[in-house]
A and B are shown apart, each in its own frame.
Chain A
Amino acid sequence: MTTEPTSSLLPTASASQVVAAMRRLVGEQRGPALWLLLLQGGATLAGLVGPWALGVVVEAAAQHRLAKVLVPVVLILLSATILRTLLSWWAGRRGGLLGARVLTRLREEFLGHVLHLPLAVVERAGTGDLLTRATSDVDGLGQTVQRALPEIVIAMVTVLLTIGALIWTAPLLALTLVPAALVLALATRWYLQRAPSAYLRERAAQGRVNGLIQESVEAGRTIEAMRLSRDRVAGVDHAVAEWLLAERATLRLRTVYFPISEATYLVPLVLSVAIGGVLHADGLLGLGALTAAALYTQQLIEPVDVILSWLDQLQLGGASLARLIGVGHVERQPVTDAEPQGEQLDADRVHFGYQPGHDVLHSLSLRPVPGSRVAVVGPSGSGKSTLALLLAGVYRPRRGRVTVGGVDVHQLASERVRAEIVLLTQEHHLFAGTVRDNLLMAAPGADDSALLEALAALDAREWVLQLDSGLETAIGSGGVRLNPGQAQQLALARLLLADPHTLVLDEATSLLNPRTARRMERSLARVLEGRTVVTVSHRLQSAVDADLVVVVAGGRAVESGSHQELLDAGGGYASLWWAYQGTPQAGPGVVAAEPS
């Protein structure tokens, strides 16, 4: 199952879903958003006083009546400057608040969706894609939301009000914006059609360099052993060359776009001065209005540049957003309200395949007596793990049924299934947090004595209490490193605390060394007395104590019975057992049912 392709199984939100989500997110922050608009509007208006004031001074100077206007104008300019400073400061704070709130909401929502993904989706999609979404997409979007959102709002307000001031001062000169806007729109469209993919390529190429270097460090031993050092250096050099190529591609785009936009920014100024100068000569426009208008066109440059420079970021941010929100659009199986009656787990003539026409399980039945121990053994790829996933309700059988207490397991909600059946695999993830956190997740209400009791049952009480802070000790990523045996013990203690009546252990101890695994299974058996335990394992030792051994091969149950019965029957199981024991009764030839 781990070899399933990892892409395409998690949805990406459509454009309309992204827009709807954005509207909702900003809508939730209507207060901060309105504040931002209001404050920035005030700051922009105060900033528009400057050109007006200079216009008045120039006009007055030309008419030699400066003395009258100078003091009031300069006082107005001074107060406007102070007001603008204060309002920009305030708007900056509110803007930051808005970005931070939206981003926090996004983060929390995303994790909420992740936490409630159906197990079947997690199982089939793998965690690679999710991991990318949780890291690069969230980070990429963070940049965009934190800075872009407020900056764009601020810039838009500034542009609109400045255009208003220009129209109010000299409506005719405002028309000079039109040709510039047209050129900019065309150039920007050209750029945006090419930029996002080029930047994605650039980012991927750079990520590849970093990834290769990091891997070279982590796998330093392997690389030295396989004598690959030179290849690695050559590989990174190649990746660096590719990265520079990708950078050159984006640089080419900017080499075209930047000078066009920069030159175009000046067009309104040039036209205003030229047309305004001619108009003034004809007495159609005051010198003050000409001056103020020219300066307003200058003041437009910065906010327009801010908006344009965020556009390509916004496109990339939109793609990240679509991938984040997409996780919330995973289709969910309908859930039943039916309550299981009793503890009987029953797989009845189950057929299942991951791809249509390629069944992995063929009419497989398993009906463990409640409270008994069943061992499922068989070679890799025989369908054992798939059977475990079906028993735990992760997948739905193509034909046949898997029921617990008469209810189809796959129809029960994940939260409901775990009260009945828990599947434990070789993946013993310890979460970053305290030992207590790692145990409490399975039994939120449990007190310390219950936790210690569970640990004691697995011989883990002693070493946990000897850790620096006992149950409070931080473990997992960034915390105290536990050895695989200890990690396993905690994982099993967690299982005990979850307290289901049926456990499915899929190679749960396979990563331990066989001796530890054996001891662990022993203590587990003691603790699990009275529960139904289905052990899926490639190690034959697990089968010795089982009430029932089922040998699965090629997706079918080929042998079943107790260990002794199977030995007496002298089939494949028996010959393998003897080979494993190292006794001369059977040679490898009997084991190899298939040619080697």
Chain B
Amino acid sequence: MKKITAASRTLVLAGMFSLVLTAIAPNAHAQYSYYALTPCRVADTRNANGVNGGPIVGSGTQRSFAVRGVCGVPTTAKAVTINLAITGMTAGGYITLWPSGQTQPVVSSINFSGTEPALANGAIVGLSTNAQDLSAYVGSNSAVHIIIDVTGYFQ
């Protein structure tokens, strides 16, 4: 039996790829080229406190990370392909990623239960031009550690 199904995640994946398609769609307002990177950890809230470090992101709160300028992502990058991993959650919920400074969209970047020790999802997210260019919101009754690994960028 070779077939692998991941039906429960279909909605989430569709949401994510919509941005990819937008970014490269012929009718989009801008066309971006993709630059691949060796995977690189941009942020890890388990580390010492800092812009891209701790503390853990609290329940119902948002944080903004600084993606451009690290891991080889240039300040001219418009979007990044990432792997979003989470851990430390004790209750179910979701996390939304979006370019900082914009209205938080009604989307989710990963959905989780409170029983999994760690979980990850791939995503393509846009970046703002703020110093802290990527916002994250924890829609959960639990605080969640967020780990973001970048694998490439669009510009």
Q: Do A and B bind each other?
A: no
Q: Which residues of A contact B (CB under 8 A)?
A: none
